[in-house]
Amino acid sequence: MFETFFDLFLSRPSRIALLGHCVFRFFAFLIFFGIVGHLAITASALVASIGRQVSAAPELGTLYPNLPTFFIPETFAGFSVSLFMTGFGLAMVHFGNKWRRILEM
């Protein structure tokens, strides 16, 4: 099992950096979509309050029932996991580049 890991990643550190870029971009997009979703929820609650309808701010699933919104972070825990994974992706990029420099020596 570790031989496969070594062959796939440690012998070619550019793959680690590429995987880190993919992880970073995916979770950065999730954070962006989470912020946009939060703005949409706030805007709909603002419009409802202008119309004197007192209701709690809806979730993204109720605002956009036809769109898959299960992966977009809406809570503090979701944003925390997304931020952690974004940092993990950056660490993978850093490790891959550093490992490539070590192998080139």
The pLDDT tens digits for 17-69 are 999 999 999 999 999 999 998 898 888 888 777 877 766 667 888 877 888 88
Give buried/exposed letters for 89-104 (b at 16+ CB in 10 A, else e). beebbeebeebeeeee
pLDDT at residue 19, as a whole number: 93
pLDDT at residue 4, as a whole number: 83
CA 79/CA 54 separation, integer angstroms:
27
Count CB atoms within 10 A of the CB of residue 72. Answer: 22
Is the model's pLDDT at 86 over the cut of 80? yes
Is the pTM value of this prediction over 0.85?
A: no
Between 93 and 56, residue with greater pLDDT: 93
Is the model's pLDDT at 85 over the cut of 70? yes
pLDDT at residue 26, as a whole number: 96
